[in-house]
Structure 1
Amino acid sequence: MSKHTAIIRWKNNGPDFLKRQYSREHTLHFDGGAVVPGSPSPQIVPAPWSNAASVDPEEAFVAAVSSCHMLWFLHVACDAGFIAESYDDEAEGVMTKNERGALWISRITLQPHIVWGGAKQPAAAEVEHLHHLAHQQCFIANSIKTEINVQPRD
Structure 2
Amino acid sequence: MSVHQSVIRWQRAPHESDPSTYSRNHRVTLNGDQQVDVSASVEFKGDSSCADPEQMLISAVSSCHMLFFLAIAEFQGYRVESYEDDPLGYLERNDKKGMEVTRIELSPRITFGGDKVPDQKAISRMHAGAHRNCFIRNSITAEVTVNHL
Shorter-chain TM-score tier: over 0.9
Gaps of 5+ in 2: none
* Pair 1:86 & 2:89 matched: no
Letter in 1 for 2:108: P
Q: Which residue of 2 aligns with 1:29?
A: 29
Q: What TM-score results when the alignment is normalised by the length of structure 1? A: 0.91
Task: Compute the TM-score of the two structures, normalised by the length of structure 2.
Answer: 0.93
Distance 2:24 2:93 in 1: 23
Instruction: Give RMSD over aligned pairs.
Output: 1.3
CA offsets, 1:115-145, max 9 Å, x none? 0101111110110100000111111011111
- 1:76 correspondence with 2:51: no
**Structure 2 vs 1, CA of residues 12 and 138 (structure 1 numbering), >3 Å: closer, same or farther?**
same
- Deviation for aligned residue 1:20: 4.9
For 1:34, the aligned partner's letter is: Q
Aligned-partner Cα distance in 2 for 1:86–1:27: 30
> Matches of 1:51 and 1:14 in 2, distance apart?
12
Pair 1:11-2:11 in alignment: yes
CA offsets per residue over residues 74-104 of structure 1, 9 Å max, x none?
A: 0000011111000000100011111101111
Structure 2 residue aligned with 1:44: 44
Alignment identity in percent?
Answer: 38
